[in-house]
């Protein structure tokens, strides 16, 4: 009697995938998500370093920075729109098409930010246009992740989904690494007033080159084998989002809370908060921007390594167990972060950021495989995209704004530590509610098995 689960080395639909095919998919996924998140994080770095002065100065020094961080978060409110659109079209017309469109949209928006006149040049039109372009980035980011995840995981052998799924996850720390590195380089090339005048624009304009490279590479990748089989059978769900919320609303919320616990903590650096806090000329530390950006760059390398380890180890001990270990380590990292940052010593600040990335990586690396195994094939793009987008709103969207407001209200970073510890605990609780479905068949032949709720105590979603 044949096994209902395809043997390792086969795609989820049972067709053989060559090593070259898989390498191409992994490479394209890593490059594409790196470019996407480079664009997204360049904005966050600029928001922490210059946007308050250049676009929101009339609000006063105190509120200008809060408004600057608010524009980082406002894009998250539009991620669900990107996720809804991408999920609908991705489940109906394919993962590959959506990935191409989101890449182009992100690149155009980022390049235009680099060309945008400041408040001093065009008045209120400057912050308005800045917010519009950030919204476009949010729509693109909301649609990008789900497609990249499914292209990686649905091409993967059953026993290596965590490792393959780590490839789009690695694109995030790589994007942060590239964004922080380019910003740090420009802070050296154009220090002080030159950075305010023109230096910050160069990383945004550099996006044009990256988008062209990413677009070319993604064109070479074949469509997901799961979607190909669904399309050949003419079994695409007509309204996948309606079906998702009709049957899986609670699952979407629980999955979103898993990501929220990771995202809130991660956005201390990816959202630009630590960069601003450590370099604020009126703050307690007052370090130079370039060294702080290099410290963030070093932490991005550490985050990348532990994200890869998180995906790899989840194939061996399960997604759920990997997450639980990750939450414990992330909690410890949160408690250590600000005591080390507040020493004002660059070396200890770097240690604090790198320590934090251990737990962050273990709660981020397995996410692609975890999410893909939670939802049925016909609504999977919608499920993973919308869960991710909602989790981003609940977690990272306004984490830098909340941190800034808490410090201004209390005069201490202890309140931020408790906020981040609370979000980590929330992620742990959500993880404990889920069964481990590592290795579940992903193809359309197994919709009935996939539709069983992974939430403990429920047989149907």
Q: How far apart are CA 336 and CA 265, in angstroms?
A: 13
- Among the four given CATH numbers 1.20.1250.20, 1.10.10.10, 1.10.10.60, 3.30.530.20, the one describing domain 19-451: 1.20.1250.20
Distances (CA, A) of 308 to 165, 217, 229, 387, 398: 9, 22, 29, 22, 27
- Number of neighbouring beta carbons within 10 Å of residue 157: 18
**Reported confidence tier of residue 147, pLDDT bands at 50, 70, 90:** confident
User: Which residue, among 17, 180, 50, has the nearest Cα to 126 in the 3D structure?
Assistant: 50
Contact 168, 145 (CB under 8 A): yes
CA torsion angle 54 60 63 67 (round to 10): -30
Beta carbons within 8 Å of 159's beta carbon, 6+ residues apart: 8, 315, 439
The pLDDT tens digits for 79-108 are 888 888 887 777 777 677 787 888 888 889
The pLDDT tens digits for 311-330 are 999 999 999 999 999 999 99
Contact 94, 224 (CB under 8 A): yes
**Averaged pLDDT, 297-304:** 91
Q: Out of 193-202, 271-280, 344-353, which region has the weakest mean confidence (pLDDT)?
A: 271-280
User: Which residue, among 390, 312, 50, 308, has the nearest Cα to 203 in the 3D structure?
Assistant: 50
Residue 16 bridge partners (DSSP): 10
The pLDDT tens digits for 361-377 are 999 999 999 999 999 88
Give the distance, in angstroms, between the CA of residue 174 and the centroid of all CA atoms in the same chain. Answer: 11
Quote the pLDDT of residue 18: 65
**Averaged pLDDT, 37-60:** 88
The DSSP result for 336-348, as a single string, is: HHHHHHTT--HHH
Percent of the chain at pLDDT > 90 equals 46
Quote the pLDDT of residue 14: 46
Beta carbons within 8 Å of 432's beta carbon, 6+ residues apart: 324
């Amino acid at each position: 009697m044949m096994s209902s689960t395809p043997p390792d080395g086969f795609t989820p639909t049972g067709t053989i995938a060559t090593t070259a095919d898989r390498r191409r998919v992994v490479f394209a996924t890593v490059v594409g998500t790196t470019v996407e998140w480079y664009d997204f994080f360049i904005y966050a770095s600029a928001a922490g370093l210059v946007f308050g002065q250049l676009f929101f100065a009339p609000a006063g020094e105190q509120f200008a920075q809060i408004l600057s961080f608010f524009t980082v978060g406002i894009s998250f409110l539009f991620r669900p729109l990107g996720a809804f659109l991408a999920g609908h079209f991705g489940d109906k017309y394919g993962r590959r098409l959506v990935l191409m469109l989101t890449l182009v949209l992100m690149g155009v928006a980022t390049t235009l930010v680099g060309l945008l006149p400041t408040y001093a040049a065009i008045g209120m039109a400057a912050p308005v246009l800045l917010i519009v372009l950030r919204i476009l980035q949010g729509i693109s980011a909301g649609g990008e992740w789900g497609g990249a995840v499914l292209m990686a995981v649905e091409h993967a052998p059953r026993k290596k989904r965590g490792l393959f799924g780590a490839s789009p996850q690695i694109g995030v720390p790589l994007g942060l690494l590239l964004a922080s590195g380019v910003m740090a380089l420009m802070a050296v090339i154009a220090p002080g007033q030159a950075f305010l005048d023109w230096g910050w624009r160069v990383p945004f304009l550099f996006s044009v080159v990256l988008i062209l490279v990413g677009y070319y590479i993604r064109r070479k990748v074949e469509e997901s084998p799961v979607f190909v089989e669904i399309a050949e059978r003419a079994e695409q769900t007509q309204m996948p989002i309606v079906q998702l919320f009709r049957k899986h609303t609670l699952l979407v919320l629980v999955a979103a809370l898993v990501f929220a616990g990771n995202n809130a903590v991660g956005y201390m650096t990816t959202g630009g908060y630590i960069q601003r806090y450590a370099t604020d000329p009126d703050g307690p530390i007052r370090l130079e921007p370039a060294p702080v950006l290099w410290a963030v760059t070093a932490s991005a390398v550490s985050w990348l390594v532990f994200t890869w380890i998180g995906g790899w180890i989840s194939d061996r001990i399960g997604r759920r167990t990997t997450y639980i270990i990750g939450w414990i380590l992330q909690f410890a990292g949160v408690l250590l972060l600000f005591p080390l940052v507040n020493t004002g010593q660059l070396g200890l600040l770097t240690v604090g950021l790198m320590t934090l990335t251990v737990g962050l990586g273990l709660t981020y690396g397995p996410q692609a495989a975890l999410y893909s195994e939670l939802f049925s094939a016909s609504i999977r793009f919608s499920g993973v995209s919308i869960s991710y987008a909602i989790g981003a709103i609940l977690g990272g969207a306004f984490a830098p704004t909340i941190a800034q407001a808490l410090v201004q209200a209390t005069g201490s970073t202890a309140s931020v530590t408790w906020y981040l510890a609370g979000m980590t605990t929330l992620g742990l609780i959500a993880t404990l509610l889920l069964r481990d479905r590592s290795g579940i068949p992903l193809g359309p032949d197994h919709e009935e098995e996939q539709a069983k709720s992974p939430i403990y105590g429920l047989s149907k979603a």
